[in-house]
């Protein structure tokens, strides 16, 4: 089934202890879409300026990603982010953020997009996420991402959003901030009780936790020693997870656990190269092979 994602499209400048790349393709909607495209067709809604390279759009289209919802603002400049990773490759310093056209992003969905059954609201203002949901007609599954900025500045809107969605994806520090809990397991259940049917807490190199009314579990990260650039890993995880769910057309407990696994594996490939470089090198056979290894790793 087609999968809709609404989020940021950006030009990133990334510096690591080994290398530096300027103006590479980035943004939450981009990393999500590319990972999801291994499983299903994707419809992307975002905004860029005239400085956005046309070849980036062509590359997304080549993956079956529909970019009719990608607005190009005449005379505008694309959202830009610049960051530097510390030697441990977990911590990073944001050097510069220029919201540009993304700062005034007010998405209007093409008519065909409004009927998508699977919806992902990538990291963004809860007010904007509400506006997107107001345009959706009968979604089967709606999942959102959030971050500490929105928890601190738009908490009321976020709390109302949680009552309108089926799933929430956030990282461990955000879950603790949102709930005020010190225990991550308690925090996961508190978030779920705020509205969504399930909650996924990302733990970076330690994998992800899942919470629903029926079960709680942790899936570890896939062990890779080739961590080149972690930028977009969380969005890639969400893309792999949602892409698989849309492909299967359901989100029962078994399918959700499989989807979590594919999300983790997509993210494991993402960190092995800058931007989308590593994901461009793999195919579905590579994902399947790594899934076999992952299952073997989890079997006693």
Question: What pLDDT does residue 283 have?
Answer: 97
- Asked if 83 contacts 196 with a C-beta cutoff of 8 angstroms, the reply is no
Evaluate the CA torsion angle 180, 182, 186, 192 in order and state its sign.
positive
- Asked if 235 contacts 32 with a C-beta cutoff of 8 angstroms, the reply is yes
Model confidence, pTM:
0.96
Rounded distance, CA 271 to CA 279, Å?
9
Question: What pLDDT does residue 205 have?
Answer: 87
- Beta strand pairing status for 3-6 and 65-73? unpaired
Map tokens 């990291």 to a residue: 123
Fold of 3-174+219-298: 3.40.1190
Q: Which residues contact 6 (CB under 8 A, 6 or more apart)?
A: 29, 45, 46, 69, 107, 109, 120, 121, 122, 124, 128, 129, 132
Q: Which residues contact 125 (CB under 8 A, 6 or more apart)?
A: 150, 154, 157
Q: Which residues pair with 141 in a beta bridge?
A: 118
Give the pLDDT of the chain (300 residues) as one tens digit per residue.
889 999 999 999 999 999 999 999 999 999 999 999 999 999 999 999 999 999 999 999 999 999 999 999 999 999 999 999 999 998 899 999 999 999 999 999 999 999 999 999 999 999 999 999 999 998 999 999 999 999 999 999 999 999 999 999 999 999 999 999 999 999 999 999 999 999 999 998 899 999 999 999 999 999 999 999 999 999 999 999 999 999 999 999 999 999 999 999 999 999 999 999 999 999 999 999 999 999 999 999
Residue 182 buriedness (CB in 10 A; 0-12 / 13-18 / 19+): exposed
DSSP per-residue string spanning 32-87 = HHHHHTTTS-EEEEEEEETTS-HHHHHHHHHTTEEEEEEEEETT---EEEEEEE-T
């Amino acid at each position: 089934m087609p999968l809709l994602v609404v989020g940021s499209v950006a030009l990133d400048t990334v510096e690591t202890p080994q290398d530096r790349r300027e103006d590479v393709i980035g943004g939450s909607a981009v990393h999500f879409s590319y990972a999801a495209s291994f499983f299903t067709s994707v419809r992307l809604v975002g905004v860029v300026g005239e400085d956005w390279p046309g070849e980036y759009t062509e590359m997304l289209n080549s993956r079956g990603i529909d970019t009719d919802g990608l607005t190009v603002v005449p005379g505008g400049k694309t959202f830009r982010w610049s960051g530097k990773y510390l030697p441990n490759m977990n911590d990073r310093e944001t050097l510069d953020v220029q919201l540009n056209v993304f700062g005034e992003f007010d998405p209007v969905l093409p008519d065909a997009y409004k009927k998508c059954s699977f919806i992902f609201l990538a990291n963004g203002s809860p007010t904007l996420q509400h506006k997107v949901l107001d345009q959706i007609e009968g979604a089967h599954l709606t999942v959102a991402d959030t971050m500490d900025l929105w928890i601190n500045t738009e908490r009321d809107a976020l709390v109302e959003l949680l009552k309108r969605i089926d799933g929430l994806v956030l990282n461990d520090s955000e879950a603790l901030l949102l709930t005020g809990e010190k225990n991550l397991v308690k925090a996961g259940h508190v978030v779920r009780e705020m509205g969504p049917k399930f909650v996924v807490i990302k733990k970076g190199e330690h994998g992800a936790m899942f919470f629903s009314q029926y079960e709680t579990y942790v899936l570890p990260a896939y062990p890779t020693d080739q961590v080149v650039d972690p930028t977009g890993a969380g969005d890639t995880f969400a893309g792999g997870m949602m892409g698989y769910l849309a492909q299967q057309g359901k989100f029962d407990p078994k399918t959700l656990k499989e989807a979590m696994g594919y999300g983790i594996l997509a993210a494991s490939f993402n960190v092995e190269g800058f931007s989308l470089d590593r994901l461009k090198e793999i195919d579905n056979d590579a994902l399947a092979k790594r899934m076999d290894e992952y299952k073997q790793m989890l079997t006693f």
